[in-house]
Amino acid sequence: MADSLQDPLIHDKQNGDEEISCNLQEGDESGSVVCSRYLGRRIANESKKIWAIAGPAIFSRMALYGTSIVSQAFVGHLGELELAAFAIATTVIVGFNFGLFLGMASALETICGQAFGVRQYHLLGLYMQRAWIVLFGVAILLLPMYIFATPILKILGQSDEIAELTGKLSIWLIPLHFAYVFYFPAQRFFQTQLKNMVIAWISAASFVLHVFLSWLFIFKLEMGLIGSAITLNLAWWMPTFGLILYATCGVCPRTWTGLSRDAFSDLWAFFKLSAASGVMLCLESWYYRILVLLTGNLPDSKVAIDSLSICMSINGFEMMIPLGFFAATGVRVANELGAGNGKGAKFAVIVSAITSTMIGLVFCLLIILLRGEFPLIFTSSTIIIDAVSKLSLLLGFTVLLNSIQPVLSGVAVGSGWQSYVAYINIGCYYVIGVPFGVMLCWMFKLGVLGIWTGMICGTAVQTIVLAFIVYRCDWDKAVNAKSQFHCLAAEAMDRVNKWSPEDSS
């Protein structure tokens, strides 16, 4: 037994994870040193597990999001109107659906992660198929946003020339809309079984090809905005086909057992969980899309939208790092809870949150120090460069806050709290942030600075509330009992049993 050992450390190895507790006498300095070493080793081990998921996830997300950055950089040199139309189309129209699909697919992190934790490997492929069916139905319902983008944007206060050009571009981006349906579930399928390098390499190849195709279609063939839409469609469909082919060609025999009619069963139950995940994440994604829409109602909207879209692109690109930790936290928490290890889930959250926050702080400082240089990537207009420089301080604070919040949302995804977090997001973002930003903009005449400041306040409140909930979570109780705010291993098993086909039980 461990208590018979003379070593002051007790090692409780459960499911491959080392739980450490120190039995030290007061003033026992040598024991304290030993405890510190083991704690350091445990942090290093957990960091390896997190980075094994987060590293490839960050790389692949940056590569795919980088396709929009590359396209925007090319389009930005076509003119201010083209840049504004591209910003509205990709940030508002496509971005609206991106957030919803990304969130709905995140439901797979809960159920696939927990199924993987209890070694029900065959269910991962079945869940991915259900996600494809549900997301495809949602994609059909959302098509009018692309088809009627011009009248929608005019109703929302955008100028006629921006709305009409954005509407033309949106039609060409419909294939991108359907790429999300298949890509995000396939990404989660590989991610929850820790096959992350597959995603990374396929995304990298797609990004390199996209840079060449953007130059070819936009400049060499002089296809302008339409060329940017074609290259974006190709940039997302290439990795989508790559992941699907890799999954279905015998490389994943335990997790992909072929197409199944069972994928059509319990679709409503899956839809409810994925809808909760979608609402939770898309409320966050839509939040800053609203910032762009509100900016379009200001005087000199082209300059305002152009400068803000550059800031949002930088924020979105850096956001791929905390979103990588969002994915890693969700998988680690789901795996640990599925295995009945509450302490392991808590420790994963702590390590992931600290790591992501430190990275966010570094980027915050870099943005503030390089505020006059990074706009040159997107434009040569001195007016827009000056406008971006004025917004850089707010951008830095946004980056810092967004480095913490996704990790806390990752806890929610891994634990199954999505519906609760959705309510928190509505209150913090749309009851506090947006009204406060509108008030600062129009009542106090602060313009886009006022809108953004108010919305940062909403993000800050939401981060504090989520941090408090995670802090108060009783992780030991979480694996044994049901509670309103507790993530449950028992619930994990219930989900697996509920959604398992009868012949596989």
Element (H, E) at 11: strand 9-14
Residue bearing tokens 């550059």: 310
Token reading at 37: 């070493």
**For residue 251, is pLDDT > 90?**
no
For residues 449-478, average pLDDT: 84
**For residue 114, is pLDDT > 90?**
no
pLDDT score recorded for residue 477:
64
pLDDT score recorded for residue 236:
92
**For residue 148, is pLDDT > 80?**
yes
Banded pLDDT at 439 (limits 50, 70, 90): very high
pLDDT score recorded for residue 366:
93
pLDDT score recorded for residue 106:
79
pLDDT in tens, 77-105: 787 788 888 888 988 888 888 878 888 88
Would the pTM of this model clear 0.75, i.e. be above it?
no
pLDDT score recorded for residue 37:
77
pLDDT score recorded for residue 494:
53
Lowest mean pLDDT among 125-129, 286-290, 430-434: 286-290
**For residue 181, is pLDDT > 70?**
yes
Is residue 108 packed enough to be buried (19+ CB in 10 Å), middle (13-18) or exposed (0-12)? buried
Token reading at 224: 């302008």
More confident residue, 379 or 166: 166
**3-state SS, one letter per residue, for 12-68:** EEECCEEEEEECCCCCCHHHHHHHHHHHHHHHHHHHHHHHHHHHHHHHHHHHHHHHH
**For residue 382, is pLDDT > 90?**
no
Alpha-carbon distances of 469 from 77, 244, 463, 478, rounded to whole Å: 46, 37, 10, 13
Beta bridge partners of 10: 21
pLDDT score recorded for residue 32:
63
Residue 313's contacts (CB-CB under 8 Å, 6 or more residues apart) are 68, 69, 72, 378
Banded pLDDT at 275 (limits 50, 70, 90): confident
For residues 104-124, average pLDDT: 79
Of all residues in the chain, what percent carry a pLDDT higher than 90?
23
Write down the mean pLDDT value for the chain.
80
pLDDT score recorded for residue 501:
54
pLDDT in tens, 350-375: 999 999 999 999 999 999 999 888 88
Lowest mean pLDDT among 234-248, 266-280, 293-307, 319-333: 293-307
Lowest mean pLDDT among 133-142, 280-289, 379-388: 280-289
Lowest mean pLDDT among 24-38, 425-439, 444-458: 24-38
**For residue 186, is pLDDT > 50?**
yes
Q: Which of 27-41, 272-286, 444-458 has the highest mean pLDDT?
A: 444-458
Nearest residue to 392 (alpha-carbon basis) of 20, 400, 178: 400
